[in-house]
Amino acid sequence: MKSARKIGLFGFGTVGKGFYENLKKHPHLPVSIEKVCVKRLDLPRIGHELYFTDNPDELLSDPELDIIIELIDDAEAAKYYVEQALLAGKDVISANKKMIGESLQDVDNWHQSFGSHFLYEAAVGGGIPIVHSVDGFFRDQEVKEIRGILNGSSNYILTQMQRNNWAFEKALSEAQAKGFAERNPVLDVSGIDASYKLSILAYHAFGEISSIKSFEIESIEGVTKEVIKRAKAKGRKVKLVATLKKTGHEIVCSVKPENISPNDELYSVDFENNAVSVETLISGRHVFVGKGAGALPTGSAVLEDLKRLLDGYSYQVSKRVKTVA
């Protein structure tokens, strides 16, 4: 019988706690969280007996820890922790879409250079298993288009504006109060957050690295009550839609508000839900819908990555990766 693998966890915020709660429901898994690195040791942490430290080296230099799970919001620090862990031969799981989206060339080098595994399902779509699906099931089917709602915060805001005739500012405040939007919501409402996720999907769908600088990105801040009213008058809804297409040798990516009709698969996807539509040459269109934010949905994606690690799974991204300006 194999001995239990030992986990070092970076971060114990919303996602970290969600992962921990999900893991407790699976006592059969041969793993244990040995150490948790947090910014502040003075915060009360009730309901568990985990070991906490504010020293990252306690995790990175511990030879007994063979899995590192990174669930922090600091992209620069996250990149350092992930790279150092991989260099030390540890398997790594991350949920940091900003770090991954901005560092895809490094991510590709990690996949090709290290014998250990690096998985990040939770970085895209919360609880929707879209990275695993695009990288695995759709790998040999020739993806034609990926289109979806990839940011639960902006979708929640637009839903409240649509249903309750709220102004943007009121809907944003409500999203922040419910924990769907950050105190600084710029990445969410600007479309940048969805762009990071779209670039990750482009990498797995086509084996190409696309800079979000080449994306067409438009904020939802310009969506006023009048814009919503005009859309409703036509029986339509305004959604922040992320689109990825490959035409010939060109990859086209955009994230922008669109007026969508009732026969669109994204029309009924409201509040903090995400949806991803994948169209392939062989099996046609597939639509995934699920919670795009929240402790338990995102934590469940981290848990699924952990299960895959235990089975020895690694991504199958093409080794012939091209960089697209």
pLDDT tens digits, one per residue of 111-152: 999 989 999 999 999 889 999 999 999 988 889 999 999 999
CB within 8 Å of 315: residues ≥ 6 apart: 111, 118, 119, 135, 204
Count Cα atoms within 13 angstroms, Cβ side, for 106: 14
Q: Are residues 163 and 303 in the same domain?
A: no
C-alpha torsion 238→271→124→104, nearest 10: 40
Residues 303, 275 share a domain: no
Residue 197 annotated among the catalytic residues of the structure? yes
pLDDT of residue 45: 79
Structural element, H or E, at residue 34? strand 31-37
Residue 233 and residue 124 share a domain: no
The average pLDDT across 227-251 equals 94
Q: Which domain does 151 fall in, by range? A: 130-291
Q: Is 90 exceeded by the pLDDT of residue 3?
A: no
Looking at residue 47, its pLDDT comes to 66
Q: Nearest-5° angle of CA 208, CA 284, CA 307?
A: 60
* Alpha carbon distance 205, 226 (integer Å): 37
The residue-averaged pLDDT of 300-319 equals: 90
For the segment 8-14, the average pLDDT, to the nearest whole number, is 95
Q: Nearest Cα to 239, choosing from 213, 286, 277?
A: 277
Domain shared by 170 and 36, yes or no: no
181 and 258: one domain?
yes
Distance CA 159, CA 250 (A): 33
Q: How far is 157 from 173, CA to CA, in rounded Å?
A: 9
- Total domains present in the chain: 2
Q: How many residues in total does the chain contain?
A: 325
Q: What is the CATH number of the domain that holds 262?
A: 3.30.360.10
Question: Is 240 in contact with 255 (CB distance < 8 Å)?
Answer: yes
Separation between Cα atoms, residue 60 and residue 68, nearest integer Å: 8
Tell whether 13 and 38 lie within a shared domain: yes
Report pLDDT digits (tens) over 282-293. Answer: 999 999 999 887
Pairing mode, strands 237-247 and 143-149: antiparallel
Per-residue model confidence (pLDDT) at position 324: 61
Classify residue 112 by burial, with Cβ atoms within 10 Å: 0-12, 13-18, 19+: exposed
Token couple for 228? 């919503």
Buried (b) or exposed (e) across 69-100, using 16+ Cβ within 10 A? bbbbbbbebbbebbbbbbebebbbbbbbbbbb
* 31-84 residue pLDDT tens: 999 999 999 998 887 667 899 999 999 999 999 999 999 999 999 999 999 999
> The tokens of 275 are what?
């949806």
201/297 Cα distance (integer angstroms): 19
76 and 113 inside one domain: yes
Whether the CB-CB separation of 165 and 66 falls below 8 Å is answered with no
Query: Are 167 and 222 contained in the same domain?
Result: yes
Euclidean distance between CA atoms 325 and 323, whole angstroms:
6
CA-nearest of 79, 83, 89, 84 to 116 is 89
- Condensed to tens digits (0 to 9), the pLDDT of residues 87-102 reads 999 999 999 999 999 9
Residue 53 DSSP SS3: strand
Instruction: Judge contact between 112 and 175, C-beta under 8 A.
Output: no
Interatomic CA distance for residues 225 and 237, integer angstroms: 12
User: Both 148 and 287 in a single domain?
Assistant: yes
**Do 57 and 41 share a structural domain?**
yes
Average pLDDT taken over every residue of the chain: 93
In three-state secondary structure terms, 7 is strand
Are residues 60 and 188 located together in one domain of the fold? no
Sign of CA dihedral 223, 229, 234, 238: positive
| C-alpha distance across the termini of the chain, in Å | 49
| CATH number, domain with residue 90 | 3.40.50.720
Residue 55: closest CA among 29, 81, 21: 81
- Catalytic pick among 98, 197, 237, 246: 197
Beta bridge pairs of residue 91: 67
Query: Are 108 and 162 found together in one domain?
Result: no
